Amino acid sequence: LPLRFDWRDKHVVNHVRNQKMCGGCWAFSVVSAVESAGAIQGKPLDYLSVQQVIDCSFNNYGCRGGSPLGALSWLNETQLKLVADSQYPFKAENGLCRYFPPSQSGVSVKGFSAYDFSNQEDEMARALLSFGPLVVIVDAVSWQDYLGGIIQHHCSSGEANHAVLITGFDKTGNTPYWMVRNSWGNSWGIEGYAHVKMGGNVCGIADSVAAVFV
């Protein structure tokens, strides 16, 4: 494992987005992972439609919440093409699902894998290197007040309630940490990111980890 790795350095991670007052973190994390997986394969790094997942993923609840793994299962089973955000822009509320003709361009999920990597965060780092940014679910209650630094206390692996995207890790300092891309805008945390200590399953970050294939 390298001491430091960040998919942002490879220009395959879009800028942080803002879910506003919509509980759609589960959709933002999945769509961001699809965007990066496509870019790693050489596709353009376009913003894809989060609203399409919010409106059409019938096994979830839109802005009232959902499961990233449920969304990935739905995308994989339906082979739905995620269209560009410009085609189906985010409006921070539930709406009627819009359908597009088969000729519409887009990115579909060819598969995904999800594992519990607790106590195996080095293996999780290898998965990040191999497959790209990882969708994780954390307990983010204490993130309400977060301003910066490495989260290592006050963040149990209790009840997972927030979906985010891990884009990298840094083990060069005294405290190794994950680089975690959030969806609360770039004025939150460290330009929209949080640093979470690697090891010890802080915030439950390793409990449910998914990699996406497009």
Partner 1 sequence: TWPWSPQREAAALRESLNRHRYLNSFPHDNSTAFYGVNQFSYLFPEEFKALYLGSKPAWAPRYPAKGQTPIPNVS
Q: Which of 14, 22, 63, 162 is catalytic?
A: 162
Core vs surface per residue 100-126: b (16+ CB within 10 A) or e = eeeeeebbebeebebbebbeebeebbe
Q: Which stretch binds partner 1 (CB under 8 A): 31-39, 42-50, 97-105, 206-214?
A: 206-214
Within 10 A of 84 (CB to CB), how many other CB atoms are there? 17
- Cα(188)–Cα(155) distance, integer angstroms: 17
DSSP for residue 82:
B
Q: Site size for partner 1, by CB under 8 A?
A: 56
Q: Does 123 bind partner 1 (CB under 8 A)?
A: yes
Site for partner 1 in 147-186 (CB under 8 A): 147-154, 159-163, 173-175, 184-185
Q: Does 200 bind partner 1 (CB under 8 A)?
A: no
Q: Does 112 bind partner 1 (CB under 8 A)?
A: no
Within 10 A of 47 (CB to CB), how many other CB atoms are there? 16
Which one of 188, 198, 201, 214 is in contact with partner 1 (CB under 8 A)?
Answer: 188
The strand pairing partners of 196, in sequence order, are 151, 178
Rounded least distance, CB 22 to partner 1, Å: 8
Rounded least distance, CB 11 to partner 1, Å: 27
Q: Are residues 126 and 173 in contact, defined by beta-carbon separation less than 8 angstroms?
A: no
Site for partner 1 in 25-64 (CB under 8 A): 25-26, 29, 63-64
- The yes-or-no answer on residue 25 being catalytic is yes
Nearest 5°: phi and psi at 126? -65, -40
Which one of 14, 36, 52, 67 is in contact with partner 1 (CB under 8 A)?
Answer: 67
- The yes-or-no answer on residue 182 being catalytic is yes
Rounded least distance, CB 100 to partner 1, Å: 25
- Cα(52)–Cα(95) distance, integer angstroms: 9
Core vs surface per residue 172-196: b (16+ CB within 10 A) or e = eeeebbbbbbbbbeeebbeebbbbb
Catalytic residues: 25, 162, 182
Q: Return residues touching partner 1 (CB under 8 A).
A: 19, 21-26, 29, 63-70, 114-118, 120, 123-124, 137, 140-142, 144-154, 159-163, 173-175, 184-185, 187-188, 195, 207-210
